[in-house]
Amino acid sequence: MKAKDYIITSADVKMPKIIYGTAWKKEHTTILVEAALRCGFRGIDTACQPKHYSETLVGEALLNMQHEGIKREDVFIQTKFTPVSGQDPKEIPYDPNASLTEQVRQSFTTSKQNLYTHYIDSLVLHSPYARFENLMEVWHTMESFVQKGELGQLGISNCYSLEVLEYLYDHSEIKPAILQNRFHAKTDYDKEMRLWCDAHHVIYQSFWSLTANPEILLSETLDAISHKYKKSPAQIWFAFLRENQIVPLVGTSSSQHMLEDLRSLDICLTSDELEQMQTLL
Ligand SMILES: NC(=O)c1ccc[n+]([C@@H]2O[C@H](COP(=O)([O-])OP(=O)(O)OC[C@H]3O[C@@H](n4cnc5c(N)ncnc54)[C@H](OP(=O)(O)O)[C@@H]3O)[C@@H](O)[C@H]2O)c1
């Protein structure tokens, strides 16, 4: 990835403008993360949530790739703390009866072990707690990892309430640098949240970017622009997201799609095309 393909976040962390997501890859996780890194991805998203992610296998891939010259410090690693409500009760990666503070500590220790690293670039709270008191206990514990130099930045995911995000921002010592949400029509593409994020230097990471937007990908607008650039609608869509300060998470299992998604970083849409695409949201 070239220098232009990275963002420096509000926490001074260097984060790629497109990130490889590792959910649901199961036993194929190692081989797919290795393929993604070989293709040129330098950002990996995972979670300490065995129900959906194989964090240990992400770690194996990162270790294996060091032998191919991709060092730990070359890769932006993002993982998540998942509350008990998001875990499979049969495989919770921490003691669910411990205090919230202790749950977060155990989860973060496990993530570092799984990923063979003493330093994680980005830790995302997988979903907010209903009670602000719980949210802030967890957040302050996450802050302590940054203060100890073991973590670069903090983020929150599946947060669709501006009130919650503002509360977190106002009451935290270390502000959220990331909001990771599903990007689709049902939430009006988080327009209000994204405006707020832009004003507060919070980077918006999108998921479901392709799967929840078939009508946009099949639209005449995208078809025409795709033909002009001789690129796929997915590539044009990712270029559009990038121009809107959105960092997409992509979890493709296809090497061809991995390369195509990375090449979207080189597409420069005109202001007229960006305006046309904006009307699709
Ligand atoms: N925070 C959360 O709660 C949360 C929830 C869901 C996901 N995530 C993160 O977001 C990542 C992405 O998940 P996602 O739900 O957005 O879907 P995804 O796993 O990226 O799936 C994308 C789908 O689109 C297809 N596709 C077609 N053309 C493609 C192209 N050019 N590039 C990429 N995919 C293409 C893929 O098929 P092929 O494999 O054949 O390419 C795949 O079936 C996850 O791995 C995870 O890291 C986070």
Report pLDDT digits (tens) over 194-227. 999 999 999 999 999 999 999 999 999 999 999 9
> How many CB atoms are located within 10 Å of the residue 144 CB?
16
Q: Is 222 inside a domain boundary?
A: no
- The pLDDT score that the predictor gives to residue 14 is 98
Q: Is 225 inside a domain boundary?
A: no
Ligand 1 neighbour 210 (Cβ under 6 A): yes
User: Structural domain of residue 15, as residue ranges?
Assistant: 3-212+246-251
- The pLDDT score that the predictor gives to residue 137 is 98
For residue 281, what pLDDT band results from cuts at 50, 70 and 90?
A: very high
pLDDT, average across residues 92-114: 98
Q: What is the pTM (predicted TM-score) of this model?
A: 0.97
Ligand 1: nearest atom to the Cα of 208: 16
Residue to mutate (ligand 1; options 31, 55, 210, 235; most atoms within 8 A of CB): 210
- The pLDDT score that the predictor gives to residue 193 is 97
Instruction: Tell which residue, 269, 258, 231, 244, has the closest CA to residue 42.
Output: 258
Amino acid at site 100? L
Ligand 1 neighbour 253 (Cβ under 6 A): yes
Amino acid at site 209? S
- The pLDDT score that the predictor gives to residue 22 is 98
DSSP line for 149-218 = TSEEEEEEES---HHHHHHHHHH-SS---EEEEE-SGGGGGGHHHHHHHHHTTPEEEEESTTTT-HHHHT
- The pLDDT score that the predictor gives to residue 249 is 98
Q: In CATH, what number is assigned to the domain containing residue 182? A: 3.20.20.100
For residue 148, what pLDDT band results from cuts at 50, 70 and 90?
A: very high
Cβ contact 163:156 at 8 Å: no
Q: Is 90 inside a domain boundary?
A: yes
CA dist 42 and 147 (Å) reads: 25
Q: Is 139 inside a domain boundary?
A: yes
Q: Is 264 inside a domain boundary?
A: no
CA 210 to centroid of ligand 1, rounded, Å:
7
User: What residue ranges in the chain does DSSP mark as E strands?
Assistant: 6-8, 14-16, 19-21, 43-45, 76-81, 120-125, 151-157, 178-182, 203-207, 246-250
CA 108 to centroid of ligand 1, rounded, Å:
25
Residue to mutate (ligand 1; options 122, 257, 260; most atoms within 8 A of CB): 257
- The pLDDT score that the predictor gives to residue 192 is 97
- The pLDDT score that the predictor gives to residue 9 is 98
Average pLDDT, the chain: 98
Q: Is 237 inside a domain boundary?
A: no
**Which tokens belong to 88?**
């499979």
- The pLDDT score that the predictor gives to residue 98 is 98
**Which tokens belong to 182?**
């599903």
Percentage with pLDDT > 90 across the chain: 100
Task: State residue 159 phi and psi, 5-degree precision.
Answer: -115, 105
For residue 188, what pLDDT band results from cuts at 50, 70 and 90?
A: very high
pLDDT, average across residues 133-146: 98
Task: State residue 209 phi and psi, 5-degree precision.
Answer: -60, -40
- The pLDDT score that the predictor gives to residue 69 is 96
Q: Is 84 inside a domain boundary?
A: yes
Number of domains in the chain: 1
**Which tokens belong to 167?**
């509360």
Q: Is 229 inside a domain boundary?
A: no
Q: Using CA positions, which residue lies closest to atom 35 of ligand 1?
A: 252
Amino acid at site 116? Y
**Which tokens belong to 215?**
């009508």
CA dist 218 and 172 (Å) reads: 42
